[in-house]
Structure 1
Amino acid sequence: MRVLVVTDAWRPQINGVVRSLEHMADQAPSFGVEMTFLTPERFRSFPMPTYPEIRLSLTRPDTVERMIAEATPDHVHIATEGPLGLTARLACRRQGRVFTTSYHTRFPEYLSARLPVPEEWSYRALRWFHREARVMMVSTPSLERELSARGFRNIVRWTRGVDTTLFRPRHERVVDFPGPIFLYVGRIAVEKNLEAFLSLDLPGTKVVVGDGPARQELERQHVGVRFLGSLAGEDLARVYSSADVFVFPSLTDTFGIVLLEALASGLPIAGFPVTGPVDVINSSGCGVVDEDLRKAALAALDVPRDLCRAYGETFTWRESARQFFSNIQAAHTGA
């Protein structure tokens, strides 16, 4: 089966959308799938205002329609709701192609955090975007319930995975700061609610890995916090294993692959009781969610690290890919 994935999010971005799609491509051959991509790399683009890592492609519907036809896919999956996603949706409608979509990002909340745009306006636009898809894939049960209540239909599940060989407990501690070490990994931007973590009165050291538009201001305000910048691969994995608790302050993420990376590294999670932490932690006992984030962070210190590692090992990219390609196959055949 030939699957063409259309995505506005692509390298050099480092985010959950890109990483998930890369892992699907790695797994595709073992499921008998030839997977190709239509990304901003093939178009002139400009940086998205307030989010310059995202490049918005400059193209025309007939151009994208021609590119899709030339790719001769059996199925088209539209991963994002940006310019490429919109033009691909139109092309599939014109060509009478069945297509699927996925819901990765809470754009209504992200947009309203930056501009005076009511969330319901954005949700209305997203309902329109996804309503013609045979199925819309979401990552968690709580997100499925929330979007169903907002009028979205044809929702199916597509979970995420983690590389448990790279992200694992290690004996060495490369982060040599006073403990306990409370760690955050992710984009440093207003929608991540990072101030809720950095302002906590906690013992030891707060460590932040990542970059983004809010870094300079937060670094100036919180002089005791250690900002390590963007890390990847072994460098990132060693920092995870050197920490004591992973703190996830976001109120808007739809999942959070970093949660799985932390668990696989033996780190308990502290977060708010929202989509993402509540779905990942579930009844595992591998973290604490509470409206009081300080209380959650301190309580998470008592969670056994070996319990977190064992639970993290249950999330695999192969199972994620099985769900993804099964959803596509069922949508394509009308099963």
Structure 2
Amino acid sequence: MRIVQLANMYHARSGGLRTVVDTLGRGYVAAGHDRVLIVPGVKRSVAEDEHGTVITLPGTPVTGGYRMILRAEKVLDILEELNPDSIEVSDKATLAPAGTWARERGVRSILFSHERLGEMVANRTRSKSESLQKAAMRWTRKIVTWFDEVVATSAFGERELALAGATNIRRVPLGVDLETFRPGTGPGSVLMRATATSRPGVVCLVYAGRLSHEKNPQAAVEAVRVLRSWGVDARLDVYGSGSHYASLCRRAKGLPVTFHGHVAQRGNLAKHLAHADLVLAPAACETFGLAALEALACGVAVVAAAGSGAAELVSQDPGGLLSCRVVHGGARPGAGIAVPPTGPGMAAGVLELLTFPARERAAAARERASQFPWSASVGRMLAIHEGAERTVDAA
């Protein structure tokens, strides 16, 4: 079977989206399928390797160094040449017409929903205009009818699609590389520090992600300010780059916050995560929270924004701050907590999680991450590409 993946906003530093698209693509090839990826770039090129074919088309520069293919016609012409059996579109904007192209030709089509469009528009425009929200919903109602299946990664991600009237939603949680992202055992790791006597009471926090408005990194910085005002010796390491870098540096002035920039190698990021006491995931619009899952795999508990997809990964009550000692399904206590996505909210979550011993947090976090191997995500996606019944959906 030939599977063609289409992705906009695909970039060397695009983090989650690129990780998802590439990992699924490698899984398709490993299963014996022919995989082609079409993405934007500076100029047109075609490259082939053991993971399939990558076709780059000239894209228009947009925010943060990203590019977008604005004219679907260029992509549709290539699809005609490729003659795919199934297409997977990771874009709700200019590449969405590929769904109607596929339907007219009897080609299977999947829309992979990486974000809630209404919230993305609000974040990009810095406006909660009712007219913009209605326009986003009208567009979502239209495009979900163009595809055979629409994939969401969480209950949070599904809600907007359901409100748009989609009846073809499949839930496919993302995965994590459990070999690359694993608990640290060397000097400086959280478990080693838990038994050390030096620098008692220091709380090492990490934020890993894009430094942009929708990711809400300012809440992580403010959490440090609040914790220190409460007498907690909190430190924050920030891994990522983006348009908010300068403003965050100004906000963090006088605080023990260190900006390390983008970390290209996943293995290096894993080592940094494994040295944290806790990871902060303050993005309220996160539809899954891949960085949060990677932290869990490293044995590090996560303070997540209430109501987000990341909150579903870590908290007994993803809707808000409750004692995570109360067990009623989901993640084991100590893996994480859902809190209001503000400085005080994040700070309160940090204090709550620190009431669990480090080894207990590490075991709970790793146990939760082990429920999300990439092999399960690839298997579900292949079943959808092949038109399998809905029994493959995640619970």
Q: TM-score, normalised by structure 1?
A: 0.90
Question: For the residues of structure 2 that align with 1:13 and 1:253, how far apart are their CA atoms?
Answer: 17
Residue in structure 2 matched with residue 136 of structure 1 by the alignment: 150
Output the amino acid matched with 1:36: V
Aligned ranges 1:59-98 → 2 under 5 Å: 59=71, 61=73, 63-83=74-94, 85-98=95-108
Aligned to 1:149: 163
Q: Find the aligned partners of 2:7 and 2:25 in 1 and give their Cα distance.
A: 13
Measured in 2, the distance between the counterparts of 1:147 and 1:60 equals 23
Give, as a single letter, the amino acid of the residue that structure 2 aligns with 1:91.
W
- Measured against aligned partners, the alpha-carbon deviations of 1:183-240 in whole angstroms (never above 9, x if no partner) come to 1100011111222221121232022110100111111121222111111323211110
State which of 320, 324, 329 in structure 1 corresponds to 2:386.
329
Report which stretch shifted further, 257-266 or 68-77: 68-77
Q: Structure 1 counterpart of 2:180, which letter? A: L
Percent of counterpart pairs with the same letter? 23
* 8 Å contact from structure 1 (residues 245, 269) kept in 2: yes
Matched, 1:298 2:351: yes
Cα shift readout 1:126-160 (whole Å, capped 9, x = no counterpart): 22112221110000133324531342321001111
Task: State the secondary structure of the residue aligned to 2:65.
Answer: strand
8 Å contact kept, 2:274–2:299: yes
Q: Distance in 1 between matches of 2:81 and 2:187?
A: 51
Partner secondary structure for residue 147 of structure 1? helix
Q: Could you tell me whether the CA contact under 8 Å between 2:123 and 2:214 is conserved in 1?
A: yes
Deviation of 1:179 after TM superposition, in Å, equals 2.3
How far apart, in 2, do the equivalents of 1:331 and 1:302 lie? 45
Q: Number of paired residues? A: 330
Shift of 1:326: 0.9
Q: Distance in 2 between matches of 1:59 and 1:172?
A: 52
Distance 2:107 2:29 in 1: 23
Provide the residue aligned with 1:189 in structure 2.
Answer: 212
- What is the Cα deviation at residue 73 of structure 1? 1.1
Q: Distance in 1 between matches of 2:380 and 2:389?
A: 14
Q: Distance in 2 between matches of 1:278 and 1:322?
A: 24
From 66, 69, 72, the counterpart of 1:57? 69
Q: Using the alignment, how far apart are the partners of 1:246 and 1:75 within structure 2? A: 38
TM-score under structure 2 length normalisation: 0.77
Task: Name the SS for the 1:76 alignment partner.
Answer: strand
Find the aligned partners of 2:66 and 2:389 in 1 and give their Cα distance. 30
Q: Deviations over 1:217-268 (max 9, x none)?
A: 1111212221111113232111101110111111101011101110011100
The letter of the residue matching 2:76 is E
Measure the CA separation in 2 of the matches of 1:181 and 1:247: 11
Shift of 1:122: 1.1
Tell me which residue corresponds to 1:315: 372
Structure 1 residue identity aligned to 2:212: A
Of structures 1 and 2, the one with the larger relative CO (CA 8 A, separation 6+) is: 1
Partner of residue 123 from structure 1, selected from 117, 123, 137: 137
Give me the whole-angstrom Cα distance separating, in 2, the residues matched to 1:311 and 1:259.
11
Q: Is the 8 A contact 1:134 1:331 kept in 2?
A: no
- C-alpha RMSD of matched pairs (Å): 2.5
Matching residue's letter, 1:55: R
For 1:173, the equivalent position in structure 2 comes to 188
Deviation (angstroms), 1:28: 1.4
Asked if the contact 2:296/2:365 (under 8 Å) is kept, the reply is yes
Task: Kindly provide the amino acid, as one letter, of the partner of residue 172 in structure 2.
Answer: W
| 1:97 CA displacement | 3.0
Contact 2:221 2:251 in 1 (8 A): no
Q: 1:284 aligns with which of 310, 315, 332?
A: 332
CA 1:90–1:317 in 2, change beyond 3 Å: closer, same or farther? same
Does the CA contact (< 8 Å) of 1:160 and 1:320 recur in 2?
yes
1:229 equivalenced with 2:277 (yes/no): no
**SS state of the match for residue 261, structure 1?**
helix
Match of 1:209 among 239, 247, 257: 239
The 1:133–1:332 alpha-carbon spacing in structure 2 relative to 1, beyond 3 Å, is: farther
* Cα 1:332–1:308 shift into 2, 3 Å: closer
Q: Which runs of 5+ in 1 are unaligned?
A: none
1:331/1:123 Cα in 2 relative to 1: closer, same or farther (>3 Å)? farther
